[in-house]
Amino acid sequence: MKIRKNIPLIDQHDKFGFWGEKFGGSFIPETLKKPVEDLTNLFQKLRKDKNFIKERDYYFKNWVGAPTPFIKLENLTKHLGGAQIWAKVVSEANGGAHKIYNATVHCLIAKKAGKKYVVGDTGAGYAGKMLSMAAKKFGLKCKIFMGAKDIKRQKPNCDAMKKNGAEIVPVYTGSQTLIDAVSECMRYWVSNCDTTHMCVGSTVGPNIFVKICGWSTSQISRELAIQIKKEFGTIPKKLKLFNCVGGGSSSFGFWNEFMHYNKKQVEFIGVEAGGPKNSKRHAAPLTENSKIGVLHGAMQYVVQDNEGQIEETESISAGLDYSGVSPLHCFLKDTKRARYTSATDEEALSAYELVSSLESISPSLEPSHAFAEAIKIAPQYNKNTIFCVNSCGDSYKDKDIIKSRLGKYIR
């Protein structure tokens, strides 16, 4: 299993849709074969179409607000006394997180396909919020599937979806969280695919959805590569890119443009949710002992029990609370191109507290996992090593959880 340097990673799958022969694929019911094939053909055509790229870039710039800032965290760097620490503040994008890139591209594709409806899943509510924003922008009717438990704990994002005119469909099956929302959404699409386009909220799902999402979020690293070259004159000899990993869309997007560098020069560090200290229900299929299985139409590492039943996970950050992970990351793990680790709820909270008290940014609990690892290892390096952390969400959405855990909220 090897990564090829001259082809985009999203295209390095075999004719059955598998990366490294075992991750991904397209496990779909017979009725979806045709719609998935149509979507695949349309996407392959559009991504080579100069006018479509122009349109995408126009909306990324003039609606999403790209490029997002790349800033040096001088106080944090000084405090830790090791590597230089920088952040890419993706939370400054319209809507407040990277999911806007995927949602924008999906709505543009839906328009080209002549569809009037879009449907999507959401966990923490960001994917739903962004899809509803993009749907409103491009004149599409939007339906969002969301677990009943998540509806209760992510009220601000639900309000945003309603404001944008989206219908929220509560899902009462299973654990009533993201995993069930994705299943329900896919089921709905099976019976409505003639009129409706489906957006999967991360680099997960059947092959084509992994590709569209990875292609969309790669905008982040395209910007970052330009910003880094401008700042340092070149890509530094030692660069480390830290990102939290839930489904894996922000991390893939943050790394893609640097894929062809040697890992000694540009290291990718993915941080999964380790859950509460001493808990066993980690949302960390790449770092804890998980097994390969099929989830939501693709083979991947999945948190499951000895009988192969998918296990529920637990994390303080709703955005990382998922039993599976993108096949792209399974491939990056097995080829050793990326290194994966996890941070506990407590470590993420301390990282949030340190960054928010020293700096002008205040990462949400998802990127706080990435900051936790950066903070942990920064003292082992000197200023010639450049750390860059993707601050892909803002803490404001987590303020109630943070207040209840730390007794205060800093932003």
Ligand X SMILES: *Cc1c(COP(=O)(O)O)cnc(C)c1O
Q: Shortest Cβ distance from residue 238 to ligand X (Å)?
A: 25
Residue 159 neighbours by CB under 8 Å, 6+ apart: none
Query: What is the rounded end-to-end Cα distance, in angstroms, of the chain?
Result: 44
Of 11-19, 64-72, 189-197, 240-248, which segment contacts ligand X by CB under 6 A?
240-248
Q: Shortest Cβ distance from residue 142 to ligand X (Å)?
A: 18
Using CB positions, name the residue nearest to ligand X: 393
Q: Would you give the distance in Å from CA 195 to the centre of its chain? A: 27
234 burial class (0-12, 13-18, 19+ CB within 10 angstroms)?
Answer: exposed
Contact 313, 275 (CB under 8 A): yes
Three-class HEC string of 95-144: CCECHHHHHHHHHHHHHHCCCCEEEEEECCCHHHHHHHHHHHHHCCEEEE
What is the size of the binding site for ligand X (CB under 6 A)?
19
Q: Tokens in use for 59?
A: 């909306």
- Asked whether position 301 contacts ligand X by CB under 6 A, the answer is no
- Asked whether position 393 contacts ligand X by CB under 6 A, the answer is yes
Alpha helix stretches (DSSP H) within 164-243: 178-192, 207-217, 219-232
Question: What is the contact mask toward ligand X in residues 364 to 383, using x (rule: CB under 6 A)?
Answer: x-x-----------------
Q: Shortest Cβ distance from residue 325 to ligand X (Å)?
A: 8
- Asked whether position 180 contacts ligand X by CB under 6 A, the answer is no
Selected from 32, 80, 97, 378, the binder of ligand X by CB under 6 A is: 97
**Measuring CA to CA, which residue among 327, 338, 330 is closest to residue 297?**
327
Question: What is the contact mask toward ligand X in residues 241 to 260, using x (rule: CB under 6 A)?
Answer: ---xxxxxxxx---------
Question: What is the contact mask toward ligand X in residues 107 to 146, using x (rule: CB under 6 A)?
Answer: -----------------x-x--------------------
Q: Which residues bind ligand X (CB under 6 A)?
A: 97, 99, 124, 126, 202, 244-251, 319-320, 364, 366, 392-393
